[in-house]
Chains A and B, each alone.
Chain A
Amino acid sequence: MLAATSVTPHAKGEKSDRLFGMSDTLFYRILSVLIVFGVWEIAGMIPISIAFPTFSSTMAAMFEMIFDGRLIYAYGETLKPLGMGVAISAFFGVTIGVSMGLNRLSQWVWEPIFVVLQASPVAALIPLITYAYGIGITAKTVAVIMLAAPIIVLNTYKAVRNANPSLIQMCRSFQGTRLQEIWIVIVPNAAPVIFAGLRLGVAAGFIGVILAELLITPTGIGDLISYHRSIAEYDYMYAAVFTIIVFSAVMVGFLETVEIKYFRPEKKKV
């Protein structure tokens, strides 16, 4: 036993920063949300525009739509293409991105496609999808993929390509196989950036599905938005938009949990 004196584990004291019986981070989060809603309420009461309802009327509209089932039904419609599109984009996007990071030929084949797709005005192209895939769920799924996949692919590719060379050498020095190198070192090393790509991809997928519902056939949550806008029931329209933001935030939080739980446990303690 060497150097026992210089290094002894020290127990970390519980953090004492608490406000109103909750941790300070939670307190500030709640405070920031309350401020945003408060400002929204005031801005709606002024009003800054007749198309801008107050926070309270938006919430009333949202609960009305939840309880009469309209919102639930709309989400049922929207989540089908969104879920499929995001799942396909995530699976193939990460796979393709990893292969691009590891293999020059794969990079050469895929990179132009996804760079072009990412840079192109996809909203303008979405109506064209109907020529190939009609107006059903397939077309909407394709729209989701067109928006979500490029971000996921390019993030994954960059993350894998920039894998820490020292960790790779370390794996080789202990006679790790190429497969071990990829699965035990490169992918976990790239996980934070891959997950950042997935979070952005989910958000982009939402935009894709709403665009498809606005531009291809009016169904689901996109229909709720465009219908209420067209009849000037702005509180209902904002309620629908609000639920998308909440849903998106929940998805992003879920992805963060998965990342920390399965790939980067060290972040939990930070």
Chain B
Amino acid sequence: MSDVATAAPLNPASATPENIVEVRNISKFYGSVHALDKINLSFPKGQMTTLLGPSGCGKTTLLKIIAGLLEPSDGEVLINGKVVNGPGPERAFVFQDFALLPWATVLRNVAFGMELAKVPKAEREDKARHYINEVGLSGFEDKYPHELSGGMRQRVGLARAMVVKADVLLMDEPFSAVDEQNRRKFQEDLLHLLAAENKTVIFVTHSIEEAVYVSDQIVLLSPRPGQIHSIIRPEISRDTSPDDIRRDKKYLDAVENIWTDLRKYLD
């Protein structure tokens, strides 16, 4: 992730083989509602791409189509150059409402993907413990979700997605149910964690600041029907501290530009 500043947007051709996820001509109708209209997108390997837009622009729909949780009405999704139908081990999803099993401990929730894959109990719990520690929840292994705060629950959701070693992490407004202070801390932790793992992340949010802060690439979607408005690469160096990034002129300019673009879609 440190090479963001040098990865120029000028060479999309050379980046093509590195696109781990590709979306081709995706359209989606819910009955007569046209949710997505002929979306074509590439997601470079190892980078964080944000789908940003006002409500009703189909960003979550697009993410769930990439995840294989929704069928597109038209078009196809390619992972590593192969067309996929339905979920697969190369993708892991982080849910907006956490989607934790209320009757399972943190440990079992984190290990849930491996439980489904019938990994032996001792092995999967070992791996789960590692990621519980990574997201800062060690000591909470035997707690149940209702005993945790919103931010901690989403850390469980994140650990569950990280532990299955999927190359692509799909995150659906992961911080929207987390309060503002925890949200900032969580964003910083997420970047830190991802830098070490070389994951490709597709991130849905409606927060402009969040998008600019975390993303290598921002896809702005316009609503009714959902179409790509523009693609922005903030080009912010992430070597500096989080506070410096939030004061960086490039960061502030990018936020301002996106806001100027998006405000015309507001009612």
> Interface residues, chain A, CB within 8 Å of chain B?
1-4, 6-9, 164, 166-167, 169-177, 180, 184-185, 188-189, 191, 263-266, 269-270
Contact = CB atoms under 8 A, between A and B. Distances in A.
A158 B237 CA distance: 53
Given A175-B116, A263-B103, A169 B144 contact: no
Given A167-B99, A188-B101, A6 B115 contact: no
A173 B146 contact: no
B120 to A, nearest CB: 16
A167 B192 CA distance: 28
B137 A174 contact: no
A173 B93 contact: yes
Most buried by B among A2, A9, A185, A191: A2
A172 B87 contact: yes
Given A6-B185, A166-B95, A172 B136 contact: no
Contacts of A188: 101, 103
B136 A173 contact: no
A2 B197 CA distance: 14
Given A173-B93, A185-B101, A2 B144 contact: no
Given A169-B69, A175-B88, A184 B115 contact: yes
Interface residues of B, number: 44
Given A175-B117, A180-B116, A170 B140 contact: no
A188 B103 CA distance: 8
A172 B4 CA distance: 33
A241 B68 CA distance: 58
B101 A1 contact: no
Interface of B: 64, 67-69, 86-89, 91-93, 95, 97, 99, 101-103, 112-113, 115-117, 133-140, 143-147, 152, 155, 164, 182, 185-186, 189, 192-193
A175 B189 CA distance: 27
Contacts of A265: 103, 144
Contact of B116 (A1, A176, A189, A191): A176
The 6 closest A-B pairs by CB, nearest first: A3-B136, A266-B144, A170-B99, A9-B139, A174-B113, A173-B93
A190 to B, nearest CB: 11
Given A6-B185, A174-B87, A1 B136 contact: yes
Given A173-B67, A269-B147, 17 more contacts: A1-B136, A3-B186, A4-B136, A7-B155, A8-B139, A9-B139, A167-B99, A169-B64, A169-B69, A169-B95, A170-B99, A173-B68, A173-B92, A174-B164, A175-B89, A184-B116, A265-B103
Nearest to B98: A166
B164 A6 contact: no
A2 B101 contact: no
Contacts of A167: 99, 101
B135 A2 contact: yes
15 contacts: A2-B193, A4-B136, A6-B182, A7-B136, A7-B137, A7-B152, A7-B155, A166-B95, A167-B101, A169-B69, A172-B68, A173-B87, A175-B88, A184-B115, A266-B144
Contacts of B155: 3, 7
B135 A3 contact: yes
